[in-house]
Structure 1
Amino acid sequence: MSGSGYDAVVDIDDEGDLGHTDLQEDLEFHNSNFSETTPALRKGGSGGGGGGSSSSGLPLPATASNSSGKRLIWTLSFYSQFFDVDTSSVLARCWAALYPRANFLDVLEGNPDLYGPFWIATTVVLILFLGGTISDYLASTGKGAFAYDFKLLSGAAGLIYGYTFVIPVALYLALRYFGSESANLLECWALYGYGNLIWIPVALISWSPITILNWVFVAVGFGVSVAFLLRNLYPVLSATDRQTSKVLLILVVALHFGLAIAIKVLFFAHGSPALKDGGGDKPPAADPPANPSRMF
């Protein structure tokens, strides 16, 4: 028996009571299949192979080369995780933003994305640009040539992208500073991004020359979007002290009101300051006086 290992096999009664087992009848000894060199192999001795195999001779798992599982910020895989969402999920989140029946953070299910916020903001930018251009053309009663003013495009991009992606960063840093452990930057981006969805139908009528209609639609867009933000941000803001949460709520509402006013003034009014010529409020330039020397 020297030089060989042994395995003990114990047969347990049907009742599962080991105390009533008859060791004399149920205890058997079998020769072990393990050799004495097994510990040496486990310690990286003989039979270990090269660098591409484990000490037991088996190949290393596919994930062994990156055991940390970290994604470096300069790699594409780091950013792809923020767009890991399918079309049905994006549509469901858009519907939840327009018709909120549950907390939007619950709808995200712990997987906030940047796909929806980016394309929603891009759509709002393009519609505001086209609507502002059409509005300026209609204000000139169609007498001038139809031309695009790309200052509207840059203004819309700076306003919408800046508000959607910069304000959440400031809010996240403020929440972390005041001790809110539940704050999440991706969730803040998702809230503000999907909250912009209401501005798409609002921007579609930005070419309308009816001023009161423009004000009504902007007011509706502001009310729906700010209610969406407050409903979902309040549980996060309330994690801070009472006075701080009130101040942050007021700032959220004030900044959103500023966005609504900027959209109305810059892209809905015919005399938009974003236009290079000030829109259609300026009267057409008079013809220059005739040169008397050329009259003869």
Structure 2
Amino acid sequence: MAAVDELAFHEFEEAANLLVETPHAATTCRSDQLTSQDHVAVTVGSSVGYGAEEVEEEGDKTALLQEEKPQPGFWTFGYYQSFFDVDTAQVLDRIKGSLLPWPGHNFVRHHLRNRPDLYGPFWICATLAFVLAVTGNLTLVLAQRRDPSIHYSPQFHKVTVAGITIYCYAWLVPLALWGFLRWRQGARERIGPYTFLETVCVYGYSLFVFIPTVVLWLIPVSWLQWLFGALALTLSAAGLVFTLWPVVREDTRLVAAALLSAVVLLHALLAVGCKLYFFQPLPLERVVPSLQAASLPPNILLPPTQPHPMATS
């Protein structure tokens, strides 16, 4: 009988009281509620896991496609497209870094960050060549206004000369420097030179300081022109020396001093050559006759020269 009483249905007092107080309330089974919650939890968990698996599979497929995608060749346009992928903020930051060099500040490590670009060097060289040609012609125009005896004719060949000079310097000198450092790397394993594009980028941005300097060379004061040129050369050469010093300091003192001296000397030859060619003084045969004509009064005529008697005999 005890077993039968245990199996019989017993009404709990708390449940009875609740039913009495709220006769219209709906009753639910606890086991059904637990079952439904478990079912929902399993369903949600399975859906989330399936979505994560899909995302992971898509990521794997993308990585495989990127690996299988062939890299463009050296002679194609797509190979160089990544070197022009820079924004205005990056270009301005690199220009600022080239204008404000100081010891211990490496332009490659602090500004390039292993991402050299050709956008900045290309347009800096193009702008410098154009400004050199234009200011060289403007110098003659201003000189003609001061002295009407000077005949001015547009010198379009200066654009070609400036472009060839600037671009050859910005590419050939870094190529020679990079090749020399690679050769020295074979001689000394501790030397780690920059890549060729990093060297080109350093030289390209170092030429930016000459753009405002060339504009200031329009001031017709010789000593002031040379002062602006010396200041620009100091800033530009200092940026090159501070950038190259971590690479060459592990080499011998003779090689390091000779290399840095050659870098500064070539930079100085470029600046002085541009100053003397595009802002050359007027020829003497144009200046001396104008000074003689200005010193003589207009009513005085020079007597004609008589031949010497010994010359006729």
Shared fold (TM-score, shorter chain, > 0.5): yes
> What residue number does 1:56 align with?
none
2:121 is equivalent to residue 117 of structure 1: yes
**Structure-to-structure mapping, 1:35-184, within 5 angstroms:** 64=65, 67=68, 69-100=70-101, 102-105=105-108, 106-140=110-144, 141=147, 147-179=153-185, 180-184=191-195
User: What is residue 274 of structure 2 aligned with on the other side?
Assistant: 263
RMSD of aligned Cα (Å):
2.5
Helix, strand or coil at the partner of 2:207 = helix
Decide whether aligned partners of structure 1 residues 170 and 203 sit closer, same or farther in structure 2, where only a CA change above 3 A counts.
same
Listed as ranges, the matches of 1:185-196 within 5 Å are 185-196=196-207
Match of 2:216 in 1: 205
Q: What is the distance in 1 between the residues matched to 2:275 and 2:231? A: 12
Partner SS for 1:266: helix
Corresponding residue SS for 2:73: coil
Do the aligned residues in 2 keep the contact of 1:135 with 1:270 (CA within 8 Å)?
no
Q: Name the residue aligned to 2:256.
A: 245
Cα deviation 1:11-40 (Å, max 9, x = unaligned): xxxxxxxxxxxxxxxxxxxxxxxxxxxxxx
Q: 1:174 to 1:86 in 2, by over 3 A?
A: same
Aligned amino acid, residue 225 of structure 2:
N
Distance 1:67 1:144 in 2: 68
Structure 1: unaligned runs, 5 residues or longer: 1-59, 272-279, 287-296
Cα deviation per residue 1:46-85 (whole Å; 9 max; x = unaligned)?
A: xxxxxxxxxxxxxx76864862643201221101111111
Between structures 1 and 2, the one with greater helix share: 2
Indicate conservation of the 8 Å contact 1:214/1:268, yes or no: no
Aligned residues: 220
Which among 283, 286, 291 is matched to residue 283 of structure 1? 286
Counterpart of 1:122, as a letter, is: A
Q: Map Cα deviations across residues 180-213 of structure 1 (whole Å, 9 max, x no partner).
A: 4333111111111110111011110233321111
CA separation of 1:65 and 1:104: change in aligned 2, threshold 3 A: closer
Matched with 2:304 is none
Per the alignment, residue 47 of structure 1 pairs with: none
Amino acid at match of 1:225: S
Q: CA deviation at 1:269?
A: 2.2
**Do the aligned residues in 2 keep the contact of 1:195 with 1:225 (CA within 8 Å)?**
yes
| One-letter amino acid of the structure 2 residue matched with residue 195 of structure 1 | S
TM-score when scaled to structure 1? 0.68
Percent of residue pairs identical: 33
**Residues 283 and 182 of structure 1, relative CA distance in 2, 3 Å threshold:** closer
Question: Measured at CA, do residues 153 and 220 of structure 1 come closer, stay the same or move farther in structure 2, by a change above 3 Å?
Answer: same
In 1, Cα distance between the equivalents of 2:240 and 2:213?
A: 18
Q: Deviations over 1:154-202 (max 9, x none)?
A: 2211221111111000000000011143331111111111101110111
**What is the DSSP-based 3-state SS (H/G/I as helix, E as strand, rest coil) of the residue aligned with 1:257?**
helix
1:232 alignment partner, one of 235, 240, 243: 243
Q: CA–CA distance in 1 between the matches of 2:63 and 2:239?
A: 45
Counterpart contact for 1:175–1:240, Cα < 8 Å: no
- Displacement of 1:246 in angstroms is 1.7
**d(CA) in 1 for partners of 2:208 and 2:238?**
13
Gaps of 5+ in 2: 1-60, 186-190, 290-313
* Per-residue deviation, 1:270: 2.8
Q: Which has the larger radius of gyration?
A: 2
